[in-house]
Amino acid sequence: MAITIYHNPRCSKSRETLQLLRDQGIEPQIVEYLKTGLAELEIHDLAKALACSLHELLRCKEVAYAELGLSDDSSDSTIVTALQNTPVLLERPIVISDKGAAVGRPPESVLALLS
């Protein structure tokens, strides 16, 4: 089973989720999106996989969220641009498998994707 994690090594929940996957004997494909950035299609695919709105992909408590003037009313194009220019705004970690996708908050929430 192919497993991908959108990972920020500086985030404790992301590190915990990655370790949880490894403890389950899974070495996931790691996407360090802060280094690689996020493509528009990739952002839309993440929202689709998680069955959420683009706004729900955002970390609303990040300083950049307020600095960019983002809100529940922000347009999809504004959100995509924000995530492309400021990828730290992406909720993390996101784990994707053949069975779906989940945000690893708490890390154990990704276990359903493994069975």
Instruction: Tell me, yes or no, if 60 is annotated catalytic.
Output: no
Q: What is the rounded distance in angstroms from the CA atom of residue 8 to the CA atom of residue 66?
A: 21
- CA-to-CA distance for 99 and 65, rounded, in angstroms? 31
Spatial distance between the Cα atoms of 115 and 104, rounded to a whole number of angstroms = 16
Q: Which CATH class is domain 4-113?
A: alpha beta
Number of other CB atoms surrounding residue 37 within 10 Å: 11
> Over 80: is that where the pLDDT of 14 sits?
yes
- The share of the chain scoring above pLDDT 90, in percent, equals 97
The letter for the amino acid at 64 is: A
What's the mean per-residue pLDDT of the chain?
A: 97
Q: Are the C-beta atoms of residues 37 and 84 closer than 8 Å to each other?
A: yes
Active-site annotation holder among 3, 5, 11, 20: 11
CA 20 to chain centre: 16
Q: What is the pTM for the complete model shown?
A: 0.95
pLDDT tens digits for range 70-109: 999 999 999 999 999 999 999 999 999 999 999 999 999 9
